[in-house]
Amino acid sequence: MSYTGAKNIILASGSPRRLEIMRTHGTEPLVIPADCDETVPPYTDVRNVPMEIAARKAHAVMDRLSREVCFALPEEPVIVAADTIVYQGEIPGRGVIMGKPRDHEDGRKMLTSLRGTHHFVITGVCMIFTSTGEERVFSDLTRVWFKYYTDDELNSYLLTDEAYDKAGAYAVQGTFGRYVERLEGDFENVMGLPWYRIEEELSK
């Protein structure tokens, strides 16, 4: 069965940005947010961190489907789960993983450390093909360079709601995008879903 342009995708995420990316590419998924532990696991390679959390999300939705029949499921659905982290440091190496900021001060610390330098955005994806049980897990990496922004600019931004449900306290497609000097890699990966990689897997 071909999944290209499919209507049979289950998005294991409540992220409006991931849903927007899928819709932009002509896919209207069934959205079933995952409820699972998102604690950062021990790691030797930071790229494995979002992959493991994405796998937890995919399996949480798979388990839910096996217990419940309250969903009008598409034919032979494929579950797509993703997790995105912002990482400051070298790869390989031991740097700093940034998730969503806890509060204003946490967001200020994150964005102060990122200004005028580069960091990595890593999205892990887990796909489960329910018709066969096949599972594919991978990650995509984008390097992002920020311009220098002042403390006043930073504090003004942190008074908005944009920072607080985003890894690294910013949205590349939002108002903070003005401070992105350049990036190396996939823009949609920074938004939270490397669709081109997912399409490659779907078309196989």
At 162-171, the pLDDT tens digits run: 999 899 999 9
Note the pLDDT of residue 1. Answer: 42
Q: For residue range 51-76, what is the model confidence (pLDDT) as tens digits?
A: 999 999 999 999 998 887 666 777 88
Contact predicate 179/147, CB 8 Å: yes
Residues 6+ apart with CB under 8 A from 101: 107, 110, 163, 164, 169
Q: Which residues are catalytic?
A: 83
Tokens found for residue 180:
């992105």
Answer whether residue 189 shows pLDDT above 60.
yes
Reported pTM:
0.91
Answer whether residue 3 shows pLDDT above 60.
no
**DSSP state letter for 102:** S
The 3-class SS string of 108-157 reads HHHHHHHCCCEEEEEEEEEEEECCCCEEEEEEEEEEEEECCCCHHHHHHH
